[in-house]
Structures are given as C-alpha cells and as structure tokens.
C-alpha cells in the first residue's frame, strides 16, 4: 500500500463513520420493510459497506505505522478507529443473525430500536466530523448529550422487551430468538455511545 502525502486521519475516521451511517440506514430499511427475500437482497449492501470500512481502517493503520508525526496520539487514533469499526461490524452482523435465527416477522419494538440506532449513529458521525475542530466547536458537547438521551431510550425498550419475553412469551424458541435480536440491537447502541464517549475523552485530553 502506497503512502498518501498529507494523510488526513480526522477525515479518514469521518469517512469510516459515514460508512457506518450508511449501513445503519440500510439496516433500518431491512427492519422496517422486513421480509426474508428483502433481507437477502439488502444484507450484501451492508457487507459491502463493511468491506469498504475495513479498507479505511487498513489505510489508517498503515499510515500510523509509517508516520512520525500524528495530529493526536497514535493510541487515541487507534482507539477511536476501533470503536467506530466495531459499530459497523455489529451492524453488518445483525442481518445474518436474522437469517440464522429464522426471523419471519419483525416486531414493532425492534423497528423502534432501529430508528434510534439511525439517530445515534448520525450523532456519532457529526461528532467524528467535528472532532478535528474539537478546540473550538460546541457541537460535540450537544451531540454527546443527544447520544446519552438516545441510549437511555433504547435501554428502556431493551429492558422492557426482555422482561416481556420472559414473562409473557410462551414459545421458548421465540424467547431465544428475540432475546438475541434485542441484545444485538442494544449492542449496536452501546457501541455507538462508547465511540462517542471515547472521542469526548480525547477532547478533554487534548484541550
């Protein structure tokens, strides 16, 4: 891999977050218009975005290994990159879980959580875009507050659905299926919050 002159780490991390945002929109489309055929058609779109994200991660790591000077500490760039990449990986994995679990019909609360994922990933993307201006922007703080609120809403839905599964669902297989789905949705939300909070920590560290 040839090195790029004046490699922009901030922009690379932003581009990775944009791939994650695109993937969250495709996931929401799958969940909102769910059918087994539509799932197969759209899952590859997310997988392609995940592959493109992997290429961005590889370019960041390559540059880190060959650069003497970086805009912030290397370990901070690595941490942010990995947290965002984990969100993209978890989004990519979910449609395959639907298929493996034999999900035939989407539940309304899963659709609600998917909409929250779109919002929280969008907020993460804004934070990543603003990160290069962390010494002057107020947007990061506003988005972090929004992420915290969205995570709280998702947590309420997740907790209520798990309780309902174990107290009201008589079909054991449905309990297993949907606990897995709601846990994976929650994992995406939590991972996105972690990515934002690590950027908040880097802002504090570097100001």
Q: Where are the domains of the chain?
A: 9-205
Q: Which residues of 68-106 are buried (b: 16+ CB within 10 A; e: fewer)?
A: eeeebeeebbebbbebbbbbbbbbbbbbeebeeeebeeb
Residue 153 CB neighbours (<10 A): 16
Q: Which residue has the tokens 């988005």?
A: 143
Q: pLDDT 10s per residue in the chain (207 long)?
A: 445 567 999 999 999 999 999 999 999 999 999 998 899 889 999 999 999 999 999 999 999 998 888 989 999 999 999 999 999 999 999 999 999 999 999 999 999 999 999 999 999 999 999 998 877 678 888 999 999 999 999 999 999 999 999 999 999 999 999 999 999 999 999 999 999 999 999 888 877
What pTM, to 2 d.p., does this model score? 0.93
**Residue 44 CB burial class (10 angstroms; 0-12, 13-18, ≥19):** exposed
Q: Which residue has the tokens 């540059």?
A: 63
Tell the CATH superfamily of the 9-205 domain: Phosphate transport system protein phou homolog 2; domain 2 (1.20.58.220)
């Amino acid at each position: 891999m040839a090195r790029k002159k004046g490699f922009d780490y901030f922009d690379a991390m932003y581009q990775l977050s944009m791939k994650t945002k695109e993937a969250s929109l495709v996931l929401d489309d799958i969940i909102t218009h769910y059918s087994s055929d539509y799932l197969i058609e759209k899952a590859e779109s997310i997988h392609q975005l995940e592959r493109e994200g992997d290429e961005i991660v590889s370019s960041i790591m390559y540059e880190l290994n060959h650069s003497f000077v970086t805009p912030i500490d290397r370990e901070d760039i690595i941490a942010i990159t990995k947290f965002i990449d984990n969100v993209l990986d978890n989004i990519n994995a979910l449609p395959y879980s639907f298929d493996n679990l034999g999900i035939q019909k989407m539940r309304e609360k899963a659709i609600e959580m998917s909409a929250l994922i779109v919002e929280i990933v969008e907020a993460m993307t804004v934070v990543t875009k603003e990160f290069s201006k962390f010494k002057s922007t107020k947007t990061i703080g506003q988005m972090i507050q929004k992420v915290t609120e969205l995570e709280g809403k998702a947590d309420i839905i997740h907790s209520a659905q798990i309780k309902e599964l174990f107290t009201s669902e008589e079909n054991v297989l449905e309990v297993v299926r949907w606990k897995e789905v709601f846990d994976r949705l929650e994992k995406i939300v939590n991972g996105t919050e972690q990515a934002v909070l690590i950027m908040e920590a880097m802002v504090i560290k570097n100001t």
